[in-house]
Amino acid sequence: MKELKTDCKTCTNLGCLIKKHVDSPQIEKYLERKHSIFCRSSQQFILEGSPVYGLYFIYEGVVKVMKTSSNSKEQIIRLSSNGEIVGHRGFGTDYVYNVSAVALQDAVLCNFTSSDLKEMLHEIPELMYDFMVFYADQLQRSETNAKRFGQMTVREKVMNALLLIWTKFGNTEGYMNLQLSRKEIADFAGTTEEQVIKNISALKKENLLRAQGKKLGIIDETAFSSAISQDNRILPS
């Protein structure tokens, strides 16, 4: 990973909480302490169990946040891209990260140390408030998603995962912009690689999904969506 420069003033990630307060006069000195990092595809920048170094804001690229359980199984917690925060659970009382984060494509990350951010939040109440809303929202999603997860069939889990990737990262000419391996889709959906493969081929036969090599595409979003029982739909986080 190497250092480079990003400028919050010209950044176009309007969803970024820092960007939102870039005109606040107190923020200036902290922007100078920001580190911008270039992270090559498949590089890991947060290691589960390592000491917390701060929070990362994605300037550009897509990142997966995951948890590795004892029996070498991985669970993808979130897929994040431009403007989103990664590593926020490490902020506060925790001294080590309890997740890992890996770039899925070349990415540029903006890092603030925990202590810098702490000062920032104390100085800028509006930023503090936005952070609080962000955390509350994350907690809300995590709770409802966990509840639904247990009630879903594997087929629904897989469909949910695909639909989420489809809607969040968009598509070009009918195929998903973000392509993950079958294993990664499984880790995200909370099932096994084989189940993902079997369900994908079933969905193809049902004309809900199209595939061209590694590329996948949802044929009719409405039809696809209604094939998942209504109250089991998962919220993107």
Partner DNA sequence: GCATTAATTGGTC
Partner DNA sequence: GACCAATTAATGC
Q: Strand, helix or coil at 169? A: helix
Answer yes or no whether residue 191 interacts with DNA by CB under 7 A. Answer: yes
Among 195, 208, 209, 224, binds DNA (CB under 7 A): 195
Q: Which is nearer to DNA, 6 or 195 (CB)?
A: 195
Q: Which of 141, 182, 210, 233 binds DNA (CB under 7 A)?
A: 182
**Which pair of tokens denotes residue 36?**
């911008």
Helix (H) or strand (E) holding 129: helix 125-151
Q: Which stretch binds DNA (CB under 7 A): 29-37, 76-84, 175-183, 217-225?
A: 175-183
The end-to-end CA distance of the chain, in Å, is 26
User: Quick check: 42 binds DNA (CB under 7 A)?
Assistant: no
Is 67 among the residues that bind DNA (CB under 7 A)? no
In this structure, the number of other CB atoms found within 10 A of the CB of residue 29 comes to 12
The phi-psi region of residue 110 (left if phi > 0; otherwise alpha if psi is between -120 and 50; otherwise beta) is: beta
Question: Cα 40–237–64 angle (5° rounding)?
Answer: 20
Q: Tell me if residue 67 falls in helix, strand or coil.
A: strand
Nearer to DNA, 100 or 195 (CB): 195
Out of 55, 200, 218, 228, the only residue in the binding site for DNA (CB under 7 A) is 200
Which parts of this chain interact with DNA (CB under 7 A)?
153-155, 181-183, 191-195, 197-198, 200-201, 211, 213-214
